[in-house]
Amino acid sequence: MDIFGPRCRSTFFLASVFLLALCMASFEAHARSILLSNPRVASLPASFPKSQPIGEMFGRAYPGFGGLADDIAEGVSRLPVSASSTNAIASPRAVSVSMAAVNQINGEATESLMHMYYSGQGWKSVNRLGSQGIDGLFYRVKPNGKLEVLIGESKRGTSQLGKTKYKGYQMSHEWILKSIEEQIAKYENKLLRCASTERAGLEQQLQLLRKIRVYVEHRIYRSRLFHADVKNGFLTVHIQQLDKTLDGGKPHGTTVQTRLTKLADPENLSKSDRAWYDSYFAKMKRELCKKMDSKSAVNVIDDLKKAYVDGAIKSSREERYFLHGRLFAESVSRQGERLASRLPVTWQPKAFSVVKASARIAGKGYAATEKVFSKGKGLVIVDLATNAYFTYGDYGRWQSGEIGGEYFGFKAGLRAVQSAVTIVWAFGPPDPVTKSVSGVAALVLIGVDVVSDPFYEAAQARAREVLEEVDQTARLDICRMQLAKRAVAALQE
């Protein structure tokens, strides 16, 4: 007797499909959140005036559609928006709570720090069009009129130089040259449609870019990697000199300067360290103001400074969790304020205070949950090894006839799905919704795996009891009947 028949297999299949759908929905939500974190998407207004269709405007500006994608945000930002998009309470869709939004804040703040550092060294920078390309294109004019060119790339935390699809590794000679050529093309394209007041400045920048390209073509430039991280409460900045690799290869760096700024003790910093301290949080506040109102951004930075002083935050990872939780709290607060604004006027003050308090609690819980989940990736290896061990044991039981083939297939499939869900939990999107859903699903599947053995053994024991109730003569008769049927079938063949 085998309780794991067709009906049970169908149920198992439907459960697997359901879990897969949950994982896909979670990934879709994470992708949507990443899309909203894109500054070009976030800058789009909520509605467009009917008198000026967006397609016609860009059709006239770009007859050949060249460079359209790079200037959509800028063109749209010049359009007037409807009154509904300028309400005091911003749309909750304007706040992205993905980790990509936090990484963007840290990345932009690090890039601003790099520009501050090189500006203090007497370097001037070329304005970059678009959000992609070289982070810092710096130059200095010598007394003889020649240029000194420095190419800078900023990285934060564990981020490294990446390999692009068509230009090779970032900061390789080919990547730098092609990135400059892309900037020249963007400036040339913008000159075709710019206002007369902008033309002089754009032409000056374009002429400067063409000069810099000549220097880069002859490899007369410096390349630097500006890497910032927070470890043990210190803002650590490493400036590396990169070699000029051929054929888009990954450049190797040599550290030429290291700077440490203690974030936990701002009162006892030297004048230069205090300038770095103030600039670090000022740049971060500027990026936060793009995600929330200025008052909320100031509160976040003040709380972040206090957390560093108290020792609650000591690393970039913990800082990301903190910012992630506050972005989530801001999103919850905006949602709640929109609902509270529809209540009677006399109820609104109390409702707003309740919303703010609830949002703070939700943000702290969100960050704490994410911090806990991030420490469990090592369990994946243990889980895979355990499942492989028990599946191998069940294979031996099946070969010895202790369990049936259907039950062995059920157990192997169950563990495979459970391992897949565990991998999603460990390496999937970092938001707590995905972590919670996949974690609970993995625990449920582990429970089914453990509980199924007693049920199967009970069913097998009951089958043996039924067989014992049948006397020996009846068993022999049944065997004769089965042999007779097989003999007749063989003769008919």
Instruction: Please check whether residue 84 is in contact with residue 47, taking contact to mean a CB–CB distance below 8 angstroms.
Output: yes
Using a cut of 0.75, tell me whether the model's pTM lies above it: no
Give the chain's mean pLDDT: 77
219 pLDDT more than 80:
yes
Average pLDDT over residues 388-415: 86
What is the rounded distance in angstroms from the CA atom of residue 348 to the CA atom of residue 373?
37
Is residue 459 within 8 Å of residue 61, measured between CB atoms? no
Distance CA 419, CA 409 (A): 15
Distance CA 273, CA 257 (A): 15
* pLDDT attached to residue 66: 42
Q: How far is CA 68 from CA 71, 81, 189, 202, in A?
A: 6, 21, 9, 18
Secondary structure, 3-state, the chain: CCCCCHHHHHHHHHHHHHHHHHHHHHHHHHHHHHHHHCHHHHCCCCCCCCCCCHHHHHHHHCCCCCCCHHHHHHHHHCCCCCHHHHCCCCCHHHCCCCHHHHHHHHHHHHHHHHHHHHHHCCCEECCCCCCCCCCEEEEEECCCCCEEEEEEEEEECCCCCCEECCCEECCCHHHHHHHHHHHHHHHHHHHCCCCHHHHHHHHHHHHHHHHHHHHHHCCCCEEEEEEEEEECCEEEEEEEEECCCCCCCCCCEEEEEEEEEECCCHHHCCHHHHHHHHHHHHHHHHHHCCCCCHHHHHHHHHHHHHHHHHCCCCCHHHHHHHHHHHHHHHHHHHHHHHHHCCCCHHHHHHHHHHHHHHHHHHHHHHHHHHHHHCCCCCHHHHHHHHHHHHHHHHHHHHHCCCCCHHHHHHHHHHHHHHHHHHHHHHHCCCCHHHHHHHHHHHHHHHHHHHHHHHHHHHHHHHHHHHHHHCCHHHHHHHHHHHHHHHHHHHHHC
pLDDT-wise least confident of 78-92, 117-131, 164-178, 355-369: 78-92
The residue with greater pLDDT, 262 or 327, is 262
Per-residue model confidence (pLDDT) at position 93:
39
Instruction: Give pLDDT, residue 213.
Output: 92
pLDDT of 141 strictly over 70: yes
* Tens of pLDDT, residues 22-52: 555 555 545 544 444 444 444 444 444 444 4
Mean pLDDT of 140-167: 88
306-320: buried (b, 16+ CB within 10 Å) or exposed (e) per residue? Answer: ebbeeeebbebbbbb
Q: Are residues 132 and 117 in contact, defined by beta-carbon separation less than 8 angstroms?
A: no
| Confidence (pLDDT) at 47 | 42
Instruction: Pick the most confident of 124-138, 222-236, 314-328, 410-424.
Output: 222-236
For residue 196, what pLDDT is reported? 85
Q: Report the DSSP beta bridge partners of residue 148.
A: 140
Q: How many C-beta atoms surround the C-beta of residue 380 within 10 A?
A: 15
Pull the structure tokens for residue 250: 């990954």
CA gap 311, 324 in Å, rounded? 18
Q: Which of 40-44, 141-145, 484-488 has the lowest mean pLDDT?
A: 40-44
- Is 433's pLDDT higher than 90? no
Lowest mean pLDDT among 1-5, 107-111, 165-169, 334-338: 1-5
Q: Tell me what pLDDT residue 15 has.
A: 56
Residues forming a β-bridge with 375: none
Query: Does the pLDDT value for residue 76 go beyond 80?
Result: no
Q: Within 10 Å of residue 484's Cβ, how many Cβ atoms?
A: 10
End-to-end CA distance of the chain: 30
Over the stretch 167-205, which tens digit does the pLDDT of each residue have? Answer: 888 889 899 999 999 999 999 998 888 888 888 988 999
Q: Is the pLDDT of residue 412 over 60?
A: yes
Residues for the chain: how many in total? 493
pLDDT tens by residue, 345-378: 888 888 888 888 887 787 777 676 666 555 556 6
What pLDDT sits at residue 294? 86
Distance, in Å, from the CA atom of 191 to the CA atom of 174, rounded to the nearest integer, reads 26
Structure confidence by residue, pLDDT tens digits, 313-353? 888 888 888 888 888 888 778 878 888 888 888 888 888 88
pLDDT reported for residue 376: 58
CB-based contacts of 53, cutoff 8 Å, min separation 6: none
Q: What is the C-alpha separation between 374 and 192, in angstroms, rounded?
A: 50
Question: Which pLDDT score is estimated for 152?
Answer: 92
Residue 334's Cα: distance from chain center in Å? 22
Which pLDDT value is given to residue 148? 93
pLDDT at 2 over 80: no
Cα distances from 71 to residues 34, 55, 56, 118, 287, in angstroms, run: 20, 14, 15, 28, 21
Is the Cβ–Cβ distance between 137 and 126 less than 8 Å?
yes
How many Å separate Cα 128 from the centre of its chain?
A: 25
The CA-atom distances, in angstroms, between 417 and each of 11, 27, 29, 78, 378 are: 14, 17, 22, 51, 18
Name residue 230's beta-bridge partners.
235
Q: Which two three-digit tokens encode residue 487?
A: 């003999």
The confidence band for 139, taking pLDDT boundaries of 50, 70 and 90, is very high
Beta strand pairing call for 124-125 and 234-242: unpaired
